[in-house]
């Protein structure tokens, strides 16, 4: 079964071998996510080489998404067994650099080292501190700024392990969104020619603008695309301004579901996808999609429904995190996700309603809409689009036409980046500058792809005059 919604897989110890990567690509992986919260440059360089070489071997382009860590508020280093706390226990949070265990040894309170030193300036008595995806909850009792101590009581206990994430709902973390680590990681990623860079914990549009300036400084001619991860309350509040300056969006439901009440997340997801669709910018739905497959060979029914509903929402891509990075069943997770996507897409429930389609704000959008209607009326076997930047492909895909979208491009970066865009299959081809030759080239590509039969119709989409600066204004129907 074919699928149009793309699959993003986080690569880690469970999936880094060429054998597993090949199986995952064959199962439906389109984009590989490299999480720079983990690993070193030597390891990431090896992963990038393996992903590319396996993709080339299979004749299947695989996009590379570099996910920057951002200013994560984390627990510091703890003993290997962790720190066990129970409801009612007193816990003192103190920056790792300022812990004096001799002075604190006499205290009956438990000591929790933290990495974010400014936290003592930002919380106040009554603030809630969540650890390990919200499973553990502390309530702030006292704040001693001079000694950098945060005294807490345990509301919900458990065992805390080293470097686990911390969330402080309702508190604005003032740390710079782009950390010194992110800057060095970005330099590395640009040298490796990653296709997308995801910025974590975005708060407002200026965070994205700052990242673009860094990219311009480090590599002036880089074509890398920028993605904003929506995982903070501020990002939801400022979403329209953020969307205007990014190339794509990730609905990062993990931290977002801790920062905001969980019951709000499904509706936020739908609204973000709707807004991304309106401006033809790809969107990923991420986190806990098939979480139980970390340890089980089959997902829960609720997880399958979650994937299906993201498809029905018209997301461009769905993402696997720990399932493929460290889980026991990475290939099975991709396989089940792909099957769920295909089955959902074959139903009428994912069809885009006419009322959901954007207004004609340009000739290109009007042309793409005409393609959408022609596909339905004439049973078009394929759309063949010529593009250098990928813009034409994204405009066509925003209308979710129910047929194959083949893209001819001379730019390898564009081919790689389009692996994230719904329904698009990009081929690296030198595009002809003559209309008649372009038509012949499109028909030849459809023959090569073994699409349809003699007499079937295809649509060719391009700028005209052919070869001019991209602006979709040509829609041509041709016979195979």
Other residues' Cβ atoms within 10 Å of the Cβ of residue 184:
12
What's the CA gap between 106 and 120, in Å, rounded? 22
β-strand partners of 152: 91, 140
| Residue 402 and residue 351 in contact, taking contact as beta carbons nearer than 8 Å | yes
What's the CA gap between 113 and 116, in Å, rounded? 9
Distant-in-sequence, close-in-space partners of 237: CB < 8 Å, separation ≥ 6: none
Helix, strand, coil shares, percent, the chain, to 5 = 40, 25, 40
What's the CA gap between 41 and 27, in Å, rounded? 28
Residues carrying an active site annotation: 33, 74, 229, 287
Comparing CA positions, the residue from 6, 8, 3 lying closest to residue 286 is 8
Residue whose structure tokens are 């708060």: 203
CA angle 121, 124, 130 (to 5 degrees): 95
Counting Cβ atoms within 10 Å, is residue 201 exposed (0-12), middle (13-18) or buried (19+)?
buried
What's the CA gap between 404 and 397, in Å, rounded? 10
């Amino acid at each position: 079964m074919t699928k149009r919604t793309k699959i993003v897989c986080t690569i880690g110890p469970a999936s880094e071998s060429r054998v597993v990567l090949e199986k995952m690509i064959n199962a439906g992986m389109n984009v590989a996510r490299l999480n720079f919260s983990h690993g070193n440059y030597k390891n990431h360089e090896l992963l990038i080489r393996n992903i590319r070489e396996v993709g080339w071997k299979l004749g299947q382009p695989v996009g590379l998404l570099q996910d920057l860590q951002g200013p994560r508020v984390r627990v510091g280093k703890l003993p290997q067994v962790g720190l066990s706390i129970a409801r009612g226990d007193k816990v003192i949070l103190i920056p790792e650099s300022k812990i004096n265990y001799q002075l604190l040894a006499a205290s009956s309170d438990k000591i929790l080292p933290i990495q974010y030193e400014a936290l003592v300036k930002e919380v106040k008595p009554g603030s809630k501190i969540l650890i390990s995806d919200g499973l553990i909850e502390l309530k702030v009792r006292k704040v001693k700024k001079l000694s950098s101590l945060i005294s807490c009581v345990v509301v919900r206990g458990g065992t805390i392990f080293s470097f686990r994430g911390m969330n402080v709902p309702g508190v604005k973390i003032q740390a710079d969104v782009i950390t010194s680590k992110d800057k060095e990681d970005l330099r590395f990623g640009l040298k490796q020619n990653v296709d997308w860079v995801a910025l974590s914990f975005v708060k407002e549009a200026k965070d994205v603008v700052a990242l673009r300036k860094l990219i311009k400084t480090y590599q002036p001619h880089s074509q890398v695309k920028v993605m904003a991860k929506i995982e903070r309350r501020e990002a939801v509040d400022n979403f329209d301004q953020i969307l205007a300056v990014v190339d794509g969006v990730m609905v990062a439901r993990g931290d977002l579901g801790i920062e905001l009440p969980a019951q709000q997340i499904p509706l936020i997801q739908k609204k973000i996808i709707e807004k991304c669709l309106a401006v033809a910018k790809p969107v990923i739905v991420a986190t806990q999609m098939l979480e139980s497959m970390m340890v089980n060979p089959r997902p829960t029914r609720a997880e399958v429904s979650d994937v299906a509903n993201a498809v029905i929402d018209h997301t461009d891509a769905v993402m696997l995190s720990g399932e493929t990075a460290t889980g026991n069943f990475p290939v099975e997770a991709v396989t089940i996700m792909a099957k769920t996507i295909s089955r959902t897409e074959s139903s009428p429930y994912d069809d885009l309603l006419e009322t959901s389609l954007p207004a004609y704000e340009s000739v290109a959008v009007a042309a793409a809409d005409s393609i959408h209607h022609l596909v339905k009326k004439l049973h078009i076997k394929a759309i063949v689009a010529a593009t250098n930047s990928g813009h034409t492909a994204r405009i066509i895909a925003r209308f979710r036409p129910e047929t194959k979208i083949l893209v001819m491009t001379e730019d390898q970066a564009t081919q790689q980046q389009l692996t994230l865009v719904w329904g698009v299959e990009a081929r690296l081809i030198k595009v002809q500058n003559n209309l008649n030759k372009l038509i012949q080239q499109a028909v030849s590509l459809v023959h090569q792809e073994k699409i349809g039969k003699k007499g079937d119709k295809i649509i060719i989409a391009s700028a005209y005059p052919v070869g001019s600066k991209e602006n979709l204004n040509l829609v041509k129907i041709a016979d195979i």
